C-alpha cells in the first residue's frame, strides 16, 4: 500500500509520518483517505516492531517477506470479515422484508375475514326478515283456511236443510222451485269454497317447505 510505504520511508528518514508529509511523499490522495490509512499504519507498526524484536536473527529480506505475508493474511481476514458482515446485513434485510410481507398478508387476511363476516351477518338478517314474512303469511293462510272450513261446514248444514225442504215439498209449487234454486246456488258456492280451500292447502305446503329450507 502506497501510504504504508511512504510512512515507512519517512520513519526511516527520521520524519514523523503525518497526513501532509505522506501526501507530499506519494504526490496525490485525499487527506481523509490518507488519515484512515495512517491510522492502520500506526496500528500495525507496533506489531511489526514486535515481530522484528522476536526474530532479530532473521535476515532483513526474510523478515520483510514474512511481514508482507502477515499483512496480506490480515488484509484477507479483514476482507472476509467485511464480506461476511455484508452478507449478514443482506440476510437481515431479507428477513425484515419477509416479516413485513407476512404482517401485510395477515392484515389483508384479517380485513377479508371481517368483510366476509359482515356479509354473512347481513345475509343472516335478510334471511331472518324473510322467515318472519313467511311465518306471517303462513299464519294468515291458516286463519283463512280455518274460516273457510267453518264456512264450508255451515254451508253443508244449510244444504242439508234445503235438501230436506225440497224433499218434503209436494207438487211443483213455487216453494219447491225456490228451494231447488237456493240449493243449486249453495252447491256452486260450496264448490268455490272447496276449490279455494285446495289452493290454500297448496300455498300452506309451499310456505312450510320454504320455512324448512331456511331453518336447515
Centre a 10 Å sphere on the Cβ of residue 199 and count the other Cβ atoms it contains: 14
- 175 belongs to a structural domain: yes
- 102 belongs to a structural domain: no
From the list 176, 178, 182, 177, the residue with the least C-alpha distance to 158 is 182
- Indicate the pTM of the whole model: 0.33
pLDDT digits (tens, 9 = 90+) for 57-73: 545 664 566 566 566 65
Same domain? For 148 and 210 the reply is: yes
- To which residue does cell 264448490 refer? 191
What is the reported pLDDT for 155?
Answer: 74
What is the reported pLDDT for 70?
Answer: 63
Which of 23, 54, 81 lies at the terminal end of a domain, its last residue?
Answer: 81
pLDDT digits (tens, 9 = 90+) for 9-31: 888 888 888 888 888 888 888 88
Q: What's the CA gap between 130 and 124, in Å, rounded? A: 10
In the chain, the number of structural domains is: 2
What is the reported pLDDT for 76?
Answer: 65
Q: What's the CA gap between 157 and 186, in Å, rounded? A: 11
What is the reported pLDDT for 87?
Answer: 87
What is the reported pLDDT for 135?
Answer: 75
From the list 100, 43, 32, the residue with the least C-alpha distance to 74 is 43
pLDDT beneath 50: ranges in the chain = 58, 62, 170-172
Q: What's the CA gap between 127 and 24, in Å, rounded? A: 92
Q: Which domain holds residue 167?
A: 126-215
Collapsing DSSP states into helix, strand and coil, what is residue 201? helix
- 47 belongs to a structural domain: yes
What is the reported pLDDT for 152?
Answer: 75
Collapsing DSSP states into helix, strand and coil, what is residue 117? helix
Give one DSSP letter per residue of 79-93, joined into a string: HHHHHHHHHHHHHHH
Same domain? For 130 and 211 the reply is: yes
- Which cell is 117 given? 363476516
6: which residues sit within 8 A by CB, 6+ positions away? 17, 22, 25, 26
- 210 belongs to a structural domain: yes
What is the reported pLDDT for 216?
Answer: 64
Query: Which CATH number belongs to the domain containing residue 178 in this structure?
Result: 1.10.287
Same domain? For 142 and 202 the reply is: yes
What is the reported pLDDT for 161?
Answer: 75
Same domain? For 11 and 64 the reply is: yes
Residues 136-150, buried b or exposed e (16+ Cβ, 10 A)?
ebbeebeebbeebee
Amino acid at each position: 500500500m502506497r501510504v504504508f510505504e511512504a510512512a515507512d520511508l519517512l520513519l526511516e528518514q527520521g520524519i514523523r509520518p503525518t497526513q501532509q508529509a505522506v501526501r507530499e511523499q506519494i504526490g496525490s490522495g485525499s487527506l481523509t483517505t490518507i488519515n484512515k490509512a495512517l491510522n492502520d499504519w500506526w496500528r500495525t507498526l507496533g506489531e511489526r516492531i514486535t515481530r522484528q524484536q522476536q526474530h532479530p536473527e532473521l535476515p532483513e529480506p526474510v523478515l520483510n517477506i514474512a511481514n508482507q505475508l502477515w499483512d496480506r493474511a490480515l488484509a484477507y481476514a479483514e476482507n472476509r470479515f467485511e464480506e461476511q458482515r455484508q452478507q449478514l446485513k443482506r440476510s437481515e434485510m431479507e428477513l425484515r422484508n419477509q416479516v413485513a410481507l407476512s404482517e401485510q398478508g395477515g392484515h389483508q387476511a384479517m380485513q377479508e375475514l371481517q368483510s366476509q363476516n359482515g356479509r354473512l351477518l347481513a345475509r343472516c338478517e335478510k334471511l331472518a326478515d324473510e322467515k318472519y314474512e313467511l311465518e306471517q303469511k303462513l299464519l294468515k293462510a291458516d286463519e283463512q283456511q280455518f274460516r273457510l272450513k267453518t264456512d264450508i261446514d255451515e254451508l253443508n248444514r244449510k244444504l242439508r236443510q234445503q235438501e230436506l225442504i225440497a224433499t218434503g215439498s209436494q207438487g211443483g209449487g213455487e216453494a219447491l222451485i225456490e228451494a231447488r234454486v237456493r240449493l243449486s246456488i249453495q252447491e256452486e258456492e260450496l264448490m268455490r269454497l272447496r276449490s279455494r280451500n285446495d289452493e290454500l292447502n297448496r300455498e300452506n305446503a309451499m310456505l312450510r317447505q320454504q320455512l324448512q329450507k331456511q331453518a336447515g
